[in-house]
Amino acid sequence: MTARGVFYVHSAPPALSPHIEWAAAGVLGVPVSLEWTDQAAAPGTLRAELHWEGRPGTAAGITSALRTWKLVRFEATEDPTPGTDGVRFSFTPSLGVFTGVIGANGDIMVPEDRLRSVMANAAIGKTTLEHELDRLLGTPWDNELEPFRRAGDGAPVRWLHAAV
């Protein structure tokens, strides 16, 4: 079974660009050469975008490979396949990783146990319901990444087919 998705590097120092390509190649199982462009939202950094096809779990693999890299902002998405949900991973140096299961209509689907945990913590005053719901929906990540997403409008798109 083949999955499809997109790997967005929203900002990275130029010195890390070959390392990011190597990390993605390690997950995809084929050489990766991204087309890097300047990131207007963070002068001195680069951005790139890669559309990929590979095995289910590839977006998680890319995220796992890069999640400790504190100078990179990225997102990895994976479309649903039979038996698996769609998913979006977002990473920022200040917030870490956000994972959201994506429904057929593009909405983030929040699991029942996570909602119950948030409600329980809010009930005892540990947090506010609004704050935790925002985190469950990825709002802090969206707020931080949106300027980087907009700066990439019109960027070149490239497809890569992984060895399956």
pLDDT digits (tens, 9 = 90+) for 95-153: 999 999 998 888 999 999 999 999 999 999 999 999 999 999 999 999 999 999 987 55
In this predicted structure, the answer to whether residue 158 has a pLDDT above a threshold of 70 is no
What is the helix, strand, coil percentage profile of the chain, to 5? Answer: 35, 30, 35
> Which residues is 38 bridged to in the sheet?
46
Give the single-character DSSP code of 74. Answer: E
Q: Give the model's pLDDT for residue 84.
A: 87
Alpha helices in the chain (DSSP H): 17-28, 58-66, 112-123, 129-137, 139-151
Mean pLDDT (the chain) is: 91
Read off the amino acid at residue 15: A
% of the chain beyond a pLDDT of 90? 84
29: nearest Cα among 66, 5, 61 = 61
37: nearest Cα among 17, 52, 21 = 17
Q: Give the model's pLDDT for residue 67.
A: 96
Question: What gap in Å lies between CA 72 and CA 80, rounded to an integer?
Answer: 26
C-beta atoms surrounding 41 within 10 Å: 18
Q: If you average pLDDT over residues 56-73, what whole number do you get?
A: 96
Question: What gap in Å lies between CA 59 and CA 154, rounded to an integer?
Answer: 23
Q: Is there a contact between 49 and 10 (Cβ–Cβ < 8 Å)?
A: no
